[in-house]
Amino acid sequence: MPLVPEIDYGTPASRSDKLVTLTIDGREVTVPEGTSIMRASMEAGIEIPKLCATDMVDAFGSCRLCLVEIQGRAGMPASCTTPVAPGLVVSTQTSRLKDVRRGVMELYISDHPLDCLTCAANGDCELQDMAGAVGLRDVRYGYDGENHVRARNDGAINIKWQPKDESNPYFTFDASKCIVCSRCVRACEEVQGTFALTIEGRGFDSRVSAGQHEAFVASECVSCGACVQACPTATLTEKSVIEIGQPEHSVVTTCAYCGVGCSFKAEMRGEELVRMVPWKDGQANRGHSCVKGRFAYGYSTHRDRILNPMIREKISDPWREVTWEEAYAHVASEFRRIQYQYGRDSIGGITSSRCTNEETYLVQKLVRAGFGNNNVDTCARVCHSPTGYGLGQTFGTSAGTQNFDSVEQTDVVIVIGANPTDGHPVFASRLKKRLRQGAKLIVIDPRRIDLVKGPHVQASYHLPLRPGTNVAVVTALAHVIVTEGLYDEKFIRERCDWSEFEDWAGFVSEERHSPEAVETLTGVPAELVRGAARLFAKGGNGSIYYGLGVTEHSQGSTTVMAIANLAMATGNIGRPGVGVNPLRGQNNVQGSCDMGSFPHELPGYRHISDDATRETFEKLWGVKLNNEPGLRIPNMLDAAVEGTFKGIYIQGEDILQSDPDTKHVSAGLAAMECVVVQDLFLNETANYAHVFLPGSTFLEKDGTFTNAERRINRVRRVMTPRNGFADWEVTQKLAQAMGLAWNYSHPSEIMDEIAATTPSFALVSYDYLEKMGSVQWPCNEKHPEGSPIMHVDGFVRGKGKFIRTEYVATDEKTGPRFPLLLTTGRILSQYNVGAQTRRTDNVVWHDEDRLEIHPHDAEDRGIRDGDWVRLASRSGETTLHALITDRVSPGVVYTTFHHPDTQANVITTDFSDWATNCPEYKVTAVQVSPSNGPSDWQVEYDEQARRSRRIAGKLEAAE
C-alpha cells in the first residue's frame, strides 16, 4: 500500500467560470481565468521547479525558481505570480531558464547544511528534489563565509546561527535549515489566521520568528501544524518523524475529535502511526487541521489504556481481569436477572458520540431488540438535543442546513453561544479567512471570545449578554427586523406559512420585546442590538453559527426556534452562504442522533410510536418493538435513585464527569446493580462500574462518522485494536450472549442495514463512499449526490414554521448567597472530559481548569491572579485557581470542564431545557471566595476514584 498521492499545484485553484486557452511547452492547455501559469502547467502534467509556492497559500514569487519564458514578453516572469492569458505561448525549460535556476539553487545550497543522509526530511525534502530537478552538480561559492548553518565559524561564535527550538511538544524549528521561503508565515496567516509567525530582519539577516523572537510554545502559535505542513525542508518537522522516520504508506480517515470532522491521512510505517496530515481533498477541512487532530493522538497507545475485560461484584472491590467470554456471559446473565427481578424496563444503554455510526446503531439495536425497551440515549442529550427539537419544529429536520464550504460565500455571520477558535478550530480558520475578505461578524456571547477581536478580524458587534437571556436578545433582534420592515417578504410568502408569520411578527413587534425594553434584563445596550439586527438583515448573505451556549439552557429549544425564525424572516435559508448551523461538539454527535440513539425515535428521526417505521425494523430484526418512548439520561438517573432502573450499558461516554450535578449522577450510578462501561480508560464513570469492557480507538476500526454538516466520512482501520476487538464487535458478542442472532462480519454490512431501513441514507454504502469520498445526507434517489445545502426548493416540513419565542427567566437566579453567574466552555487544546487529550502533550497548554473572573469581582473578594478559590453553588462546591481577566463581564465567571480533579459539574444544577431535558450547564448561580486548596469533597472524590481503580494483581494505576 503506497502513500495517498497528493499533487501540489503550486497555487490555489481559480473559481472563475471563464476558460482561457494557452500553449505550454507546445501543449494546448485550457484552465479557468485567473489560474497561474504554474498551476496550468501542473494540471497539464508539466512540473515547473518551485520552492516558495504551494497550493495551500497564495503565490508569493520570492524563490525565483519557477521562472518561465513567454513569447513576446521580456524577461523571465515567475510562473506562480503570472496569470494565464488567451494565446500565451509558454516555455518552461530553455537553456536560459536552466542556467538561472541552477544559479538560484547554488545560492540556496551555499547556506544550507549538507547532512541530507541524517536529516529528518530525507525522502520528503523539496529542496533536495529541486536540486535534483535543476541538475545542481556543484556549488561554486563554497560553504565558508557568512552562514546560518554552523554554530561556530573558525572557532568564533556565529551570531547568525540559532539553536533548534524544541519548545513545542510536537514539532521542532531548526533555523539552520530554513530557506526563508515564507511558506510557514503565509500558512499561519492565510490558512490558520493566527499571524503568529513573521520574517524578522532583512536580506541575508531575514529569518522566521515566532511572535517577537519567542520560543514557539511561548508565542501566540496555536500548534495547528499548518506551518509544518507548508515547510519544504526539515526546518519545521514533526518530532514523530524525527523519531521514527518517513512513512511508507498512508490511509485516509476521519478525526475523532470535534464535530468539524476533518479528513486526515494517517501516515504509517507498518502499524506505527508516524503522523496525521490533513487531507487536501477533505471536504470539511480542505487540508487544514488543529492541534488536537494533527498531533494529539498519543492517547491511543497510552499506558493507561485498559486492554483486558474486568469484573467486580461491588464497586468497592478491586477489579478482576477476566476473559471476554466470562465478561459477556456475566453481563448477559446480570441484565437478564435484573429484568426478571425488576422488570423489562429496568435496564438501558447509552450510545457514544465518539464511536462510529455503525457502533451507535448496534447499541440502540441491542437496547430495542435485545433489552426489549427504548431506554437508549446519547450524549447529545446534554448538548444538541434542543437543536433536534427546535429545527425539527421550524424546518422539519434535525440538522444544520449548510456545508462548511458555505462560509466562503457568507457576508454577515452571527456567532452565538459558540467559541469556534477553541471548540471548532478548523471551521474558525475558514470563517476568519472569509472575515479577512470583508464579511461582517456579530458575536453574541457573555465572554469576549477570541473572534471578537483578533489579528485582522474584528466583530462589528459584540453583544455581551447576561447568561440565560438568549431568547430575549434574539427576539429583540427580530423585533428590530420586523418593526423596521427589514424582513424578506418575498421569501416568507413563498416558503413559509404567512399567517404564522403574521402572528409571530405581531408577537415580536410588541414593545416589551424591543431592545430598549429588554436592556435591563440582558445587559446589552439597545443600540448594539439595533445595529446588529440592521446589519444582519441587510448585509447580504446572512448565516448563523451556534453552539452549546444556545442549547444548554432551560430555554435551549426556544432559542433554537428563535434562531430559525430569524433566518426565515431574513430569507437566509436554502442557498450557499446562509443558513442555520449548529456546531456539533463531538465527532459523531450528529451521527449518533441520526442512528436512533434517542429514546423516542428510530434511525432517521422517526418516532417510535409510528407503526410503519417500527414494522420496517420488526421485520428485519425479527422482534416486536416497544412503541413507548424510553428514558432519557437524566430520567434514567432519576429512576435509578428511585429504584426502578438497575442496569446500564455505557459505550464511550463518561457521564459522571460530563453530566451536570455530579452528586446526583453518582447517586444514580451507585444505586444500580450492573453498570457496564466500555471505554479506552478507567474513566470517572467506571468508578461506579461492575464490568469494564476495553474499547478501541478510531485508528483501530472501520466505520463512518457524520460531522456537523451531515457529512458521512469514512473511518479506516490503520492498526490492530490493542484490546483485540473493535467496539462494534464487542457489542455484537454481547448481543449474541443475550441470545440475539447477529452475524455482521464487517461494519459495511451494518451500514447496508442502515441504508435499507432509513430513507435519508438509502444510497449510502461503503462502495459509494469509496467512489464519492463522502456524502451529506439525505443521500437517496432524490439526492443521489447527497445534500450540501438543505431546504433548497422548500422546507423539509413543507412550509417553514414561525414560532413565538417568549423569554422566560431561568429558575436559577442569583441572590445574596450566590451573586455571580457561572458559565462553562472548552479550550482549544483539550477535548470534552479530557480523557484523550489529558493523555497527550496537549497538557502543556492547559494542565488545569481555571476560573475566569472579572477584576472587579476579584478585587471585591480579595482574590489575586492564580489564587486558589472556592466555587460554590446550591448543588455543591469545588476549588480551582483563579484567572483574572476582563474577557468575562462583571458578575459572570467562567471555567472549563476538562479535568476530573476540578469536577466543574459538581457545581452545575439539575435545571434543564423544557423540551428535551438538556441540562442548563451555561447558567449557575455561584459564589466565589478565597480558599486554601482542594475542598473536602475533592479530596474524598480523589480517594474514592483511586480506590475504585485498583486492579487485583497490579500496581495502582497512575492517574
Helix (H) or strand (E) holding 580: strand 579-582
Query: Is residue 635 involved in binding other proteins (CB under 8 A)?
Result: yes
Residue reference for cell 423569554: 807
Q: How far is CA 360 from the centre of its chain?
A: 19
Query: Is residue 828 involved in binding other proteins (CB under 8 A)?
Result: no
Distances (CA, A) of 541 to 439, 579, 763: 9, 9, 32
3-class SS of residue 50: coil
Nearer to other proteins, 200 or 610 (CB): 610
| Contact string 480-509 vs other proteins (x = CB under 8 A) | -----------------------x---x--
Of 348, 349, 328, residue with least CA distance to 732: 328
Residue-by-residue DSSP string for 640-667: HHHTS--EEEEES--HHHHSS-HHHHHH
Nearer to other proteins, 179 or 625 (CB): 625
Which position among 571, 576, 604, 630 is part of the footprint of other proteins (CB under 8 A)? 630
> Considering only 409-417, 424-432, 633-641, 842-850, which stretch makes contact with other proteins by CB under 8 A?
633-641
Angle between helices 385-394 and 556-569 (to 10 degrees): 40
Q: State how far the Cα of 957 lies from the Cα of 838, in Å rounded to an integer.
A: 15
Angle between helices 470-483 and 498-509 (to 10 degrees): 110
Query: Is residue 599 involved in binding other proteins (CB under 8 A)?
Result: yes
Nearer to other proteins, 545 or 802 (CB): 802
> Considering only 58-66, 147-155, 412-420, 622-630, which stretch makes contact with other proteins by CB under 8 A?
622-630
Query: Is residue 666 involved in binding other proteins (CB under 8 A)?
Result: no
Which position among 344, 493, 817, 864 is part of the footprint of other proteins (CB under 8 A)? 344
Least gap, CB of 343 to other proteins (angstroms): 4
Of 428, 385, 433, residue with least CA distance to 409: 433
> Considering only 139-147, 243-251, 634-642, 823-831, which stretch makes contact with other proteins by CB under 8 A?
634-642
Residues near 5 by Cβ (< 8 Å), separated by ≥ 6? none
Q: State how far the Cα of 378 lies from the Cα of 625, in Å rounded to an integer.
A: 20
Nearer to other proteins, 370 or 423 (CB): 370
Of 398, 120, 65, 69, residue with least CA distance to 233: 120
CA dihedral 603, 605, 610, 611 (to 10 degrees): -20
Query: Is residue 622 involved in binding other proteins (CB under 8 A)?
Result: no
Cell of 515: 431592545
> Considering only 397-405, 759-767, 804-812, 887-895, which stretch makes contact with other proteins by CB under 8 A?
804-812
Q: State how far the Cα of 208 lies from the Cα of 188, in Å rounded to an integer.
A: 12
Q: For residue 891, give the DSSP letter.
A: T
Which position among 744, 766, 914, 937 is part of the footprint of other proteins (CB under 8 A)? 914
3-class SS of residue 359: helix
Nearer to other proteins, 54 or 635 (CB): 635
Query: Is residue 638 involved in binding other proteins (CB under 8 A)?
Result: yes
Cell of 67: 521562472
Which position among 144, 271, 272, 628 is part of the footprint of other proteins (CB under 8 A)? 628
> Considering only 140-148, 317-325, 636-644, 892-900, which stretch makes contact with other proteins by CB under 8 A?
636-644
Query: Is residue 642 involved in binding other proteins (CB under 8 A)?
Result: yes
Nearer to other proteins, 162 or 613 (CB): 613
Q: State how far the Cα of 784 lies from the Cα of 465, in Å rounded to an integer.
A: 43
> Considering only 46-54, 269-277, 621-629, 772-780, which stretch makes contact with other proteins by CB under 8 A?
621-629
Binders of other proteins among 122-151, rule CB under 8 A?
Answer: none
Least gap, CB of 623 to other proteins (angstroms): 7
Q: State how far the Cα of 171 lies from the Cα of 735, in Å rounded to an integer.
A: 45
Q: State how far the Cα of 527 lies from the Cα of 539, in Å rounded to an integer.
A: 17
> Considering only 280-288, 298-306, 308-316, 801-809, which stretch makes contact with other proteins by CB under 8 A?
801-809
Which residue type, as a one-letter code, is found at position 453? Answer: K
3-class SS of residue 94: coil
Query: Is residue 547 involved in binding other proteins (CB under 8 A)?
Result: no
Nearer to other proteins, 65 or 376 (CB): 376
Query: Is residue 559 involved in binding other proteins (CB under 8 A)?
Result: no
> Considering only 629-637, 751-759, 925-933, 939-947, which stretch makes contact with other proteins by CB under 8 A?
629-637
Least gap, CB of 843 to other proteins (angstroms): 37
Query: Is residue 631 involved in binding other proteins (CB under 8 A)?
Result: yes
Query: Is residue 554 involved in binding other proteins (CB under 8 A)?
Result: yes
CA dihedral 822, 827, 833, 838 (to 10 degrees): -140
Residue-by-residue DSSP string for 724-760: SS-HHHHHHHHHHHTT-----SSHHHHHHHHHHH-GG
Query: Is residue 742 involved in binding other proteins (CB under 8 A)?
Result: no
Query: Is residue 620 involved in binding other proteins (CB under 8 A)?
Result: no
Least gap, CB of 853 to other proteins (angstroms): 29
Query: Is residue 797 involved in binding other proteins (CB under 8 A)?
Result: no
> Considering only 268-276, 367-375, 411-419, 888-896, which stretch makes contact with other proteins by CB under 8 A?
367-375
Cβ count near 958 (within 10 Å): 8
Which phi-psi region, left, alpha or beta, contains residue 240 (left: φ > 0; alpha: ψ -120 to 50)? alpha
- Strands 440-444 vs 461-463: parallel, antiparallel or unpaired: parallel
Q: How far is CA 801 from the centre of its chain?
A: 30
Query: Is residue 813 involved in binding other proteins (CB under 8 A)?
Result: no
| Contact string 324-343 vs other proteins (x = CB under 8 A) | ------------x--xx-xx
Least gap, CB of 628 to other proteins (angstroms): 5
Residue 17, CA atoms < 13 Å, CB-side half-sphere: 0
| Contact string 916-945 vs other proteins (x = CB under 8 A) | xx----------------------------
Query: Is residue 607 involved in binding other proteins (CB under 8 A)?
Result: yes
Which position among 808, 847, 859, 946 is part of the footprint of other proteins (CB under 8 A)? 808
Nearer to other proteins, 218 or 808 (CB): 808
Query: Is residue 804 involved in binding other proteins (CB under 8 A)?
Result: yes
Cell of 502: 403574521
Query: Is residue 600 involved in binding other proteins (CB under 8 A)?
Result: yes
> Considering only 21-29, 458-466, 531-539, 806-814, which stretch makes contact with other proteins by CB under 8 A?
806-814
Which position among 371, 649, 688, 795 is part of the footprint of other proteins (CB under 8 A)? 371
Cβ count near 918 (within 10 Å): 30
Cβ count near 145 (within 10 Å): 9
Nearer to other proteins, 77 or 372 (CB): 372
Q: State how far the Cα of 429 lies from the Cα of 437, in Å rounded to an integer.
A: 13
> What backbone torsions phi and psi does residue 333 show, to the nearest 5 degrees?
-70, -35
Q: What is the dihedral sign for C-alpha 275, 281, 284, 287?
A: positive
Nearer to other proteins, 670 or 808 (CB): 808
Binders of other proteins among 884-913, rule CB under 8 A?
Answer: 910, 912
> Considering only 1-9, 79-87, 726-734, 914-922, which stretch makes contact with other proteins by CB under 8 A?
914-922
- Strands 461-463 vs 457-458: parallel, antiparallel or unpaired: unpaired
Which position among 351, 356, 375, 889 is part of the footprint of other proteins (CB under 8 A)? 375
Q: Is the distance from CB of 264 to CB of 279 less than 8 angstroms?
A: yes
Least gap, CB of 582 to other proteins (angstroms): 20
3-class SS of residue 465: coil
Q: State how far the Cα of 700 lies from the Cα of 251, in Å rounded to an integer.
A: 12
Q: Contact positions toward other proteins, by CB under 8 A?
A: 336, 339-340, 342-345, 370-375, 503, 507, 554, 558, 599-600, 607, 609, 623, 628-632, 635, 638-639, 641-642, 644, 739, 803-806, 808, 811, 910, 912, 914-917
